[in-house]
Structure 1
Amino acid sequence: MHEIDWTSIFSPTLSLIEIVIRGTIIYLVLFFFLRLLRRDTGSIGIADLLVVVLIADAAQNALGSKYESITEGIVLVGTIFFWNYALDWLAYKFPAFQGLVRPKPLLLIENGVLMRRNLQKEMITKEELMSQLREQGIEEITEVKECYLEGDGKISIVAKSGRT
């Protein structure tokens, strides 16, 4: 039938350092665009989503022979994992860096008052917020002491103590 060319499967046709540089640039550019532009309520973190998308693409390219070797795909996937881990590590070790990697909580309700500017900033409708409140057993905004959009996109709610 057909002979397998093992050399072409594992021998890179591109410089491995070029693959690392390309993977680094793409990861960091996409991460910062996503970090600056959007954080969705109740979704997985931006970095998690980015890793899934990039790894799927990198693996698909390696499997579909858009690269000439599996080695190139493995190096690119390794580069993506490295940057995902490195950014998390930097945020953990250096508090000043944490604000860049993980957004600070954003106040959405304070003492029963809706912070409309913050809702608008994150493009969250009152109806979306009310849905999140109802999931926590809260029917009215006036029952809320504080409500935040957390850095991971989840909503956290502190109910007023006199709530029944």
Structure 2
Amino acid sequence: MDINPYLDIILRCIGVYLFMVLAIRFFGKKELSQLSTTDLVFIVLISNSVQNSMVGSNSSLSGGLVAASVLFCLNYLMKLIMYHSSSVKELIEGKPVILVYHGKIDIAHLHQESISMDELEEAIREHGIDSYKNVKLAILEVDGNISVIAGEPDKLRPPQNKHRRKNKNLANKN
């Protein structure tokens, strides 16, 4: 059974696109925002290696345009689906991860996201803060960037449960 060459390109593009989305998700969001020279070379080589698997032996202009059109449509469709479904968005992009909360580092999250102390400290300094102890909140965003919010050192204690405190005060009055 011979398959239409353009349908073949469409199916190949869908397969490669889904593979690349899952591979990027699997290898971590940290890699997205911090492209080194080796990362750039990697991306160029990956795109070159999957190009032939998308168009097969069809190296015509129309074959390339079909492949590009399919990729644009898939990307648009994926963004539309993620816009309407928070669970799909979370599956594809992940969730932000808290790295520092009120001057305390979450070591488990650093290990989970493969972020070294040096990388965290560098991100904190890039935000003009000299120490993690002066950080109210540092979050690894879904795009791989680390957002940092400064806090006043004497106000960095985590907020207390005010409802609970009121109940204690009521108990003391009785």
TM range (shorter): 0.7 to 0.9
The answer to whether the Cα contact below 8 Å between 2:133 and 2:153 also exists between their aligned partners in 1 is: no
Q: Is 2:16 the partner of 1:30?
A: no
The answer to whether the Cα contact below 8 Å between 1:108 and 1:115 also exists between their aligned partners in 2 is: yes
Structure 2: segments with no counterpart, 5+ residues = 155-174
SS in 2 for 1:153: coil
SS in 2 for 1:147: strand
Give the number of aligned pairs: 143
For residue 110 of structure 1, what is the aligned residue in structure 2?
A: 101
SS in 2 for 1:25: helix
For residue 10 of structure 1, what is the aligned residue in structure 2?
A: none
CA distance in 1, matches of 2:30, 2:130: 22
* TM-score normalised according to structure 1 size: 0.74
The structure in which a higher percent of residues are helix is 2
Structure 1: segments with no counterpart, 5+ residues = 1-12
Structure 1 segments (4+ residues) deviating >3 Å: 52-58
Residue number among 54, 60, 64 corresponding to 1:69 in the alignment: 60
* TM-score normalised according to structure 2 size: 0.70
Q: What is the root-mean-square deviation of aligned Cα atoms in Å?
A: 3.1
CA distance in 1, matches of 2:123, 2:34: 16
Change (3 A) 1:150 1:71: same
For residue 97 of structure 1, what is the aligned residue in structure 2?
A: 88
CA distance in 1, matches of 2:18, 2:45: 11
